[in-house]
Amino acid sequence: DLRTGKAPKTNLLLYNPAKDRELSPKEISRVVLKVMPGKYSEAKSLILPSDISFTGSGASETLLVGVNPKEPVLSIAGVKNVSISGFRIIPSALQSSETGTVDIKKSNQVVFLNNLVEAKGGSAIQINQSKNIGVFGNSFTAGSSKGIWCKQSGLVLEANSFLGEWPQAISVDSGCGLDAKRNLFMQNKVSVAVSGTAERLHLEYNSFLQNIAGVRFFSNLPSSLLFDYNIFFQNLYAIFGSRAVVAKKFGRNAVWKSRVVFGGRPEKFIPLELAQPQFLNPEKYDFRIKPNSSLAVGNTEDSIDFGAYQRTDFLGKFSPQVIKTLEVATGQKGLAASWGYK
């Protein structure tokens, strides 16, 4: 029962356990709850129990709309082994600044896949005191606060898109350990905001395009830092830090028309690749690198690729999901088909 949080007893005549799914080996133990196409207005939070796959019919077909500005649309609290996929999730138009559209708290093994999430006054997803949280192939449209707010949690992001003027697309707050790979950040105010008390920041193969600041360090760097093969294209600041840093903590990144500043001074150790990236079809959000570009695979000195969608022959594990949610987020019909997905 989604309103009480009590899980039904599994009856194999009524429910079909998911089997043989590469994305989540533990999903075989979940009850699958399929939601048909439609717009569902929710006066109270939907409370998800443990061991459930909560599945819509796609972001263009199944809409969950919040009514109460002080309650999340989805609440995942004190549970484990949960997946949420195939929804467009919209909070109340008067959403409180303290409220997340989706709230994940004190939970373990939660997968958030192939959704379009909006925020009006609060965060799209709030994650607190949780571990093994995976956010894959989703799109987040511009809000007035944070896209994802992570505190005291372990979070993996792969192949998501963050579009528009997010004040902070991702907030890596106290005790948060973030691994982010192959994500698209476009036209944000700050794409990744990092607290001085963040636990871990691993950024690899991400594309930061036309943001005010790609990565913003508010204080000291996290003790665990991995920073490699990202593209920074036409950002006011690729990286902006409040304090001077040790250059060796950063790896190889591609920077074009984007400044790197620490402690009020420009730094020159990040832009190891200064060539302008040549994208295949930016009007269709196709930011793969053209084969003959200097940043393409095999054209750099060590055959390194850069960015979220770096190759023409490999788009990443979750690319079909993120392109489909991008199509809904941007209103560009046929976007997925132009990438070769139906």
Question: What is the pLDDT at residue 201?
Answer: 96
Mean predicted confidence (pLDDT) in 132-153: 96
Question: What is the pLDDT at residue 64?
Answer: 97
Mean predicted confidence (pLDDT) in 187-191: 97
Which has the minimum average pLDDT: 31-40, 217-226, 333-342? 333-342
Give the DSSP per-residue string, 203-249.
EES-EEES-SEEEEE-SSPPSEEEEES-EEES-SEEEEESS---GGG
Question: What is the pLDDT at residue 268?
Answer: 62
Asked if pLDDT for residue 102 goes beyond 80, the answer is: yes
Question: What is the pLDDT at residue 39?
Answer: 96
**Torsion region of 195: left, alpha or beta (phi above 0 gives left; psi -120 to 50 gives alpha):** beta
Asked if pLDDT for residue 253 goes beyond 90, the answer is: no
Which of 112, 84, 105, 97 minimizes the C-alpha distance to 145?
Answer: 97
Asked if pLDDT for residue 317 goes beyond 80, the answer is: no
**CB-facing half-sphere around the CA of 9: CA atoms within 13 A:** 1
Name, in order, each residue with C-beta under 8 angstroms of 155's C-beta and a sequence gap of 6 or more: 127, 133, 134, 135, 148, 176, 177, 178, 179
pTM: 0.87
Asked if pLDDT for residue 132 goes beyond 90, the answer is: yes
> CA 230 to CA 203: how far, in whole Å?
7
Question: What is the pLDDT at residue 235?
Answer: 95
Burial class (CB in 10 A: 0-12, 13-18, 19+), 82: buried
Question: What is the pLDDT at residue 301?
Answer: 47
The DSSP element (H or E) to which 272 belongs, if any, is: strand 271-273
User: Is-contact 271 298, C-beta < 8 A?
Assistant: no
Asked if pLDDT for residue 72 goes beyond 70, the answer is: yes
Question: What is the pLDDT at residue 246?
Answer: 60
- Of residues 21 and 146, which shows the higher confidence score? 146
Residue given tokens 């830090």 in the structure block: 241
> CA 324 to CA 160: how far, in whole Å?
11
Asked if pLDDT for residue 4 goes beyond 60, the answer is: no
